[in-house]
Amino acid sequence: MDATTAEPAADTTTSDVTATDTPAAPVAVAPIARTDFSTIDDSSILGYLHAGTPELLDQIADAWSGLGMTLGERGADLELEFRRLEPTWTGDSAELYAESVRSLIEATRVIGTMSTDLGEVVYSSASALAQVCAMYPAGSIDASVSIDGKAS
For the chain (length 152 residues), average pLDDT per consecutive 10? 42 44 66 84 84 93 97 96 93 92 96 97 95 84 55 52
Task: Identify the pLDDT of residue 146.
Answer: 52
Task: Identify the pLDDT of residue 46.
Answer: 85
Contact by Cβ (8 Å): 115, 68: yes
Contact by Cβ (8 Å): 116, 69: yes
Task: Identify the pLDDT of residue 111.
Answer: 97
Query: How far apart are the C-alpha atoms of 152 and 146, rounded to whole Å?
Result: 6
CA atoms within 13 A on the CB side of 114: 7
Query: How far apart are the C-alpha atoms of 66 and 111, rounded to whole Å?
Result: 12
Contact by Cβ (8 Å): 41, 84: no
**Helix, coil or strand: residue 61:** helix
Closest CA to 68 of 18, 117, 11: 117
Task: Identify the pLDDT of residue 19.
Answer: 45
**What contacts 13, CB < 8 A, 6 or more positions away?**
109
Task: Identify the pLDDT of residue 17.
Answer: 44
Over residues 10-22, the pLDDT tens digits come to: 444 444 444 444 5
Quote the pTM value: 0.64
Task: Identify the pLDDT of residue 144.
Answer: 54
The residue ranges of DSSP E strands in the chain, in sequence order, are: 5-6, 27-28
Task: Identify the pLDDT of residue 105.
Answer: 96
Closest CA to 107 of 2, 15, 7, 31: 15
